[in-house]
Amino acid sequence: MIVAGIDLGSATGKAVVMKDGDVIGTHIEPSTAHPLKMANRVIEAALAEAGVPSVDHIENTVSTGYGRLDIPFANENVSEIACHAKGAHWMVPSVRTVIDIGGQDCKVISVSPKGGVLEFVMNDRCAAGTGRFFEGISRGLGCGLDGISALENQGEKPCVISNQCSVFAESEVVTLVNEGTDFRNIIAGVNLSVAKRLKGMARRVGVIEDVVLTGGCSKNDGLVKAIGESLEVEVKRLPRDPQLAGALGAALLARERLDAKL
């Protein structure tokens, strides 16, 4: 049984191909303005890695993410909230809280012992704390996203970043740079400000361990550290690329749907 999941997000497109419950092919690449072309590219690359000749050999495909409605070869589209919960739970069955930080939104999801969604809270009205936010901050600091992520760049005296708006926060960072503030303390302050924002969201659904992060921003080691300290929990690392959680969950749901029909 070959199934696939496609996650077309605002920043990246992802695809996962599974056969008989095992992942046999994956692919991630930056998103474009053409969802269908993006979907074709990521699924073809994942199929090539899996050694599957074409999409004709896929028995069921589920799409998710912002571009999920623009994939004509998908058999069904499902909310990314359900897919991230399912994918994270498959990788770490003990997970009960998923924090997904994507390109332009953040979500905190309470997960059942079976990987279902119990409750969630989502911020998609402001870019603060998202991938777009960190891209802007990295421009202001001139250090790149790797610089913001590196643990050695997390200062011991985090600056207070008072503005939650991404535009004003970037301006605030530029001011701190011009004042000669230690850039490590600025970076630590940026990550801490996002962690505090996520803590406020997490309180609304309740934080139950194990806690994991999904999405591209979960690769920010400084942010992971700040979130763990802010929530006073150990943030578990996923054994696979955290950006694949949504596409993986979509593939798992594709298999479940297919099993239900048999």
Q: Using DSSP, state whether 126 is helix, strand or coil.
A: coil
Average pLDDT over residues 31-40: 90
Q: Using DSSP, state whether 8 is helix, strand or coil.
A: strand
- pLDDT bin (cut points 50, 70, 90) of residue 162 is confident
pLDDT in tens, 194-253: 999 899 999 999 999 999 999 999 999 999 999 999 999 999 999 999 999 999 999 999
- What's the pLDDT score for residue 126? 67
Query: What is Dmax (Cα atoms) for the chain?
Result: 66
**What are the structural domains of the chain?**
1-92+239-262 (3.30.420.40), 93-237 (3.30.420.40)
Whether the pTM exceeds 0.95: the reply is no
Q: Given a cut of 80, is residue 167 above it in pLDDT?
A: no
In whole angstroms, how far apart are CA 97 and each of 100, 148, 231, 236, 250? Answer: 10, 25, 12, 10, 18
Q: Residue 124, preceding bond cis, omega within 30 degrees?
A: no
With a pLDDT cut of 90, the percent of the chain lying above it is 75
